[in-house]
Structure 1
């Protein structure tokens, strides 16, 4: 399959969501009684566009995009860290603010990458397998089910790795973060339907992963 401009746009948006979510996660917001990171607004959209890629182009392409996204994310983090350790100008007073917002915390970085990668691959796998098992029917059920699994693993891994053993850790955090992310994607189901149907029509493709290799580390498409 050639890389069409539509595929490249979806890929770019997916990568943007992944990187942006990590940057804005440092801000804490309130939604009713819940206190959540600002990334809660953006990060579910990476799953939405991940669903679109898997549904239209297949697991093989989704696997490539996921690894590309986190490679770009790692490169972004490296550049941010490099800028952080370079001595600032004598008159510049923003070092503390820079480190507060963009500073690299190894434990948080590990939590973000572990949760994100495992969650995205689980989401793509579940959606792909359910598509084959349902003969492509009930997209809404497949996207929500894959999100429940993917976001559940993502959220659990992130919070456990990032906060376990600290005063900020509370298992209930996993539940309400997971529910909030899943609810956002469920509400965005019409957007998913619109994007998927339009892409399938324009691209003239509707991938079914009947012979795909699901190993996330494999570079080959078939079993």
Structure 2
């Protein structure tokens, strides 16, 4: 019988919520001080923090299930937005253009988002789980930041290059990549004390501190 956890469902729900909100708000490009990035960047780094907490406390296999849950939730949301946008509007509804501009996601944006999320989140979780074994559970700060540096560069570069290459000028393209990456990693570093407290509290609550010694790290493994 698999172990029952008090807070795993809550962490999973928060993870998916952050992911979906980030996908919607990413339709706007914003400036924040010296940074230029899509609006989803303000919240999306929290998904990596939740991913770190999931892997650190519950292990890679349980984190893998949550990552897939997020993937299919984002896919369902994107397909729903596209289908609703295609359906003919009511005669007295005058906001079809506004809907298409904000929520009428193109297949290219959807593909970029899903592929970047898949690669980045699994790279983050895998890196953290492997580093936990190598460090014997020490230096949590190094593991959370190190895994984020790996996952975020893949996520950021894939999304921006696939979504916007050939659409925006190359100088803006690289500005977006650098700004997104630095901001996301900065948030992870800034929230390190919160990550420490959360993982410590959850380990006490759940009586769990999982080490992925015999784990199959294939992201497509069903176990």
Q: If the length of structure 2 is used for normalisation, what is the TM-score?
A: 0.94
After TM superposition, where is structure 1 displaced by more than 4 Å over at least 4 residues in a row?
A: none
Deviation, structure 1 residue 10: 0.2
Distance 2:167 2:123 in 1: 28
Deviation, structure 1 residue 3: 4.7
Instruction: Identify the residue that residue 83 of structure 1 maps to in structure 2.
Output: 84
Number of aligned positions between the proteins: 220
Instruction: Identify the residue that residue 110 of structure 2 maps to in structure 1.
Output: 109
Distance 1:38 1:193 in 2: 27
2:175 paired with 1:200: no
Q: Deviations over 1:176-217 (max 9, x none)?
A: 211111001110111111111111100001100010001111
Q: Deviations over 1:129-173 (max 9, x none)?
A: 000111111111100000000001111111111122333333343
Instruction: Identify the residue that residue 194 of structure 2 maps to in structure 1.
Output: 191
Instruction: Identify the residue that residue 163 of structure 1 maps to in structure 2.
Output: 164
Computed over aligned residues only, the root mean square deviation of the Cα atoms, in angstroms, reads 1.3
Q: Which runs of 5+ in 2 are unaligned?
A: none
Distance 1:2 1:97, change over 3 A: farther
Deviates more, 1:23-32 or 1:200-209: 23-32
Distance 1:172 1:37, change over 3 A: closer
The 5 Å alignment of 1:1-223 reads 1-169=2-170, 170-220=173-223
Distance 1:84 1:166, change over 3 A: closer
Distance 2:4 2:109 in 1: 34
Distance 1:80 1:165, change over 3 A: closer
Q: If the length of structure 1 is used for normalisation, what is the TM-score?
A: 0.94
